[in-house]
Amino acid sequence: MTILSITDLSKKFNGTHAVKNMDYQFTPHQCIALIGPNGAGKTTTLRMIAGLLQPTSGNIIFEQNKNMDRRMLIGYLPQHPVFYSWMTGSEFLTYSGQLGGLSKAKSRQRCKELLDIVGIIDAKDKRISNYSGGMRQRLGIAQAIIHKPKLLMLDEPVSSLDPIGRREVLTLMEDLKKEMTVLFSTHILSDADEISDELILLRNGEIIESGKMKELRQKYQTTKITLQFAESQAFYEEKVATLANVRNTLVEKDSVQVITNDITKARKEILQQAVQEDWPLLTFKLEQASLEEMFMKAVNHS
Ligand SMILES: Nc1ncnc2c1ncn2[C@@H]1O[C@H](COP(=O)(O)OP(=O)(O)OP(=O)(O)O)[C@@H](O)[C@H]1O
């Protein structure tokens, strides 16, 4: 099921494309990382979807709610949210709820629920100026989901946080995807790797790769096996090279490097042959491509 479709979405600033011909279909309860270097077009994309920036061309359609005001379906936390630091977390959220049209009583009720959801209920009466970076981000997320949106968009939500704050916010994002779709931008690959189900790789405003993490890993994954033999690496390299699931081999110093596309089959084949022919195998080590390597490959292929 698709909740949001973007088709042929483009934005030009002074004749130059910041986002170009973007297509993507968003499904419910997924966490999608919009990833790319500085200036790739991440913020521009999020601001267009949020309705804060007019696209130059293209369409943004909420499939099941075509006639609803898009702002009611989206929660958005900008990269540098502004808080009234002299307010307490509780005051800030209640005030935000009222600004969004809730009655004072309803807003108070929702504020309590939200502080609980984002895990800062114990700090509800503290001034925001005394909040840590992670607590501020969680308060920002609470504000963004006050109206129970279907899509929550977060612009670089963890980039400026220390490891503890980062962990807290990533965990919260994982929890929230049970209730809504979460789209977040980042240039930190390990954050995307940790929690996202899908990935959109952007470069110069264009999607150069996208899809489910699992499928992307399969597509770009080259698994390397390092083998070490007690004697003559070159002799055993030749034997390994004849196996059906081995793509490439190379003798490197005192080891044999094996490249394969199907790690499960290759592992089985190598070990079976080693037992059958009594190979003097000293080391068998698997190394999988990291997301970073995957990203570099996608960039180089495009
Ligand atoms: N209001 C604007 N006027 C002119 N150019 C703009 C404007 N906003 C963005 N741009 C340009 O559009 C391109 C994409 O910018 P955008 O902020 O979307 O990238 P980003 O991927 O979010 O980068 P960052 O990680 O640095 O936030 C950049 O070249 C930027 O300079």
**Residue closest to 92 by CA, chosen among 114, 119, 117:** 114
pLDDT number for residue 221: 67
> What is the distance between the alpha carbons of residues 117 and 168, in angstroms, rounded to a whole number?
12
Pair 157, 255 in one domain? no
Question: Which residue in this structure is represented by tokens 């499939």?
Answer: 63
Q: Is 150 in the pocket of ligand 1 (CB under 6 A)?
A: no
Residues 175 and 239 in one domain: no
Residues 6+ apart with CB under 8 A from 276: none
Mark which of 218, 235, 256 sits at the end of a domain: 218
| Residue 84 reports pLDDT greater than 70 | yes
Give the range of the structural domain holding residue 266, as residue numbers without chain letter: 222-301
Q: pTM of the predicted model, to two decimals?
A: 0.80
Residue 70 has pLDDT above 90, yes or no: no
**Is 10 a pocket residue for ligand 1 (Cβ < 6 Å)?**
no
Indicate if the alpha-carbon torsion angle 230, 233, 237, 238 is positive or negative. negative
C-alpha closest to that of 97 among 155, 65, 145, 34: 145
CATH code (residue 149) = 3.40.50.300
pLDDT of 302 over the 60 cut? no
Q: How far apart are CA 172 and CA 195, in angstroms?
A: 10
Share of the chain above pLDDT 70, in %: 96
Residues 260 and 139 both lie in one domain:
no
Would you state the pLDDT for residue 222?
66
Distance (angstroms) between ligand 1 centre and the Cα of 39 equals 5
- Local confidence band at 72 (pLDDT 50, 70, 90 cut-offs): confident
CATH classification at residue 229 = 3.30.70.920
Q: What is the ipTM of this complex?
A: 0.96
Q: Provide the pLDDT for residue 277.
A: 92
* Residue 210 in contact with ligand 1 by CB distance below 6 A: no
- Check if 78 has its Cβ closer than 6 Å to any atom of ligand 1: no
Based on the domain organization, do 9 and 57 belong to the same domain? Answer: yes
Asked whether residue 12 falls in the same domain as residue 83, the answer is yes
Residue 289 confidence class, pLDDT cut points 50, 70, 90: low
Average pLDDT over residues 41-48: 96
Atom index in ligand 1 nearest the CA of residue 205 equals: 14
- pLDDT tens, 130-163? 999 889 999 999 999 998 899 999 999 998 888 8
44 lines ligand 1 (CB under 6 A): yes
Rounded to an integer, the average pLDDT of 197-209 is 92
Query: Could you identify the atom of ligand 1 that is nearest to the CA of residue 202?
Result: 21
Which pLDDT belongs to residue 260?
82
Higher pLDDT, 295 or 53: 53
